[in-house]
Each structure stands twice: as structure tokens, then as C-alpha cells.
């Protein structure tokens, strides 16, 4: 199985490190951006298999950026998992209204993120996500 690449777009340095480490331990090739501008620069160089996108970024709304990506023929096929702390009561799946393929409400357990990414990999690429590697914290 080829190694799946994940672009994490998260402005909080600690969260970015936690997400990146967990996904690397899960067998993914991970790189990170801290803003929409950084993300665009990285997308010019390399097209990831999945984008994990925080909604609250310093240079714009991640939800609006997700919608923009999904309209672009070069990037629309990349699955996006939206991370958001802005979930209202009764708002079951806000990420889908933002063109995201899945979402995760903050705060979340880091294992939840890994499980979401694994599920998206399986759904979009039909591959076992972890390549046989144990998940972080499980042996």
C-alpha cells in the first residue's frame, strides 16, 4: 500500500503537533500549514490525499476556504475533514454544509481524529488506512 499523505491546516501550534504526531504514528505522511496562505503554497507543490482543516484560521474562515477548494477542479477530489469548535446545539453535521467530507467538533480525543482519517481513507481510497501499524496508545 502506498503511504497516504495528509495536510494538516491548524494555526494552534500545540494542536498541530498533536495532530501531526498522531497521524504519523498512524502510518501517514503528514505535513502542516498554519494558515490558508501556507496551505495554498503547499498545494502548489504537492497534492495531498486528505486535508484536515481547522475552521478558525488567522487569515480566513476554513469553512469558506473548504468551499473554495471544492469548487476548484484541481482540488475538489481531495477529501476534507473540518475541525471546528463552533458547533451549535442541534447542528449535527455543519461540515457537510461547508462542503467538507467529514468533520470533528472540538474538543476531541486525538484518537477520534485518527479514526476519522482512517474512515475517510477507506471510503475514498478503498485501502486499509493504517498499513498494519498499531494505532497510538494501542498495542
Q: What is the CATH number of the domain that holds 29?
A: 3.40.50.2300
Asked if residue 135 is part of any domain, the answer here is no
Give the separation between CA 85 and CA 4, rounded to whole angstroms: 26
Torsion over CA: 75, 79, 18, 63 (sign): positive
Asked if residue 93 is part of any domain, the answer here is yes
Q: Which of helix, strand or coil describes residue 126?
A: coil
Task: Identify which has the larger pLDDT, 88 or 137.
Answer: 88
Query: What are 61-100's pLDDT values in tens digits?
Result: 999 999 999 999 999 999 999 998 765 544 444 444 568 9
Count structural domains, the chain.
1
Asked if residue 77 is part of any domain, the answer here is yes
**Three-point CA angle 56, 61, 65, nearest 5°:** 125
Give the separation between CA 77 and CA 119, rounded to whole angstroms: 16
Query: Considering only CA atoms, which of 120, 123, 95, 94 is closest in space to residue 23?
Result: 120
Asked if residue 134 is part of any domain, the answer here is no
Query: What are 18-49's pLDDT values in tens digits?
Result: 999 999 999 999 999 999 999 999 999 999 99
Asked if residue 131 is part of any domain, the answer here is no
Backbone angles phi, psi at 125, to 5 degrees: -115, -5
pTM: 0.84
Asked if residue 138 is part of any domain, the answer here is no
Determine how many CB atoms are found less than 10 A away from the CB of residue 2.
9
Asked if residue 75 is part of any domain, the answer here is yes
Query: What are 110-132's pLDDT values in tens digits?
Result: 999 999 999 999 999 986 555 43
Asked if residue 118 is part of any domain, the answer here is yes
Residue-range definition of the domain harbouring residue 108: 5-125
Is the predicted pLDDT of residue 107 greater than 90, yes or no? no
Amino acid at each position: 500500500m502506498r503511504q497516504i499523505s495528509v495536510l494538516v491546516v491548524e494555526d494552534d501550534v500545540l494542536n498541530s503537533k498533536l495532530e501531526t504526531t498522531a497521524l504519523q504514528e498512524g502510518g501517514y505522511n503528514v505535513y502542516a500549514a498554519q494558515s490558508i496562505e501556507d496551505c495554498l503554497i503547499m498545494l502548489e507543490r504537492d497534492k495531498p490525499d486528505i486535508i484536515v482543516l481547522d475552521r478558525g484560521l488567522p487569515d480566513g474562515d476554513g469553512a469558506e476556504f473548504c468551499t473554495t477548494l471544492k469548487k476548484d477542479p484541481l482540488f475538489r477530489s481531495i477529501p476534507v475533514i473540518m475541525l471546528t469548535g463552533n458547533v451549535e446545539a442541534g447542528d449535527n453535521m455543519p461540515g457537510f454544509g461547508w462542503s467538507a467530507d467529514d468533520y470533528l467538533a472540538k474538543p476531541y480525543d486525538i484518537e477520534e481524529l485518527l479514526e476519522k482519517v482512517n474512515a475517510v481513507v477507506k471510503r475514498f481510497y478503498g485501502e486499509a488506512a493504517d498499513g498494519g501499524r498499531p494505532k497510538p496508545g494501542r498495542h
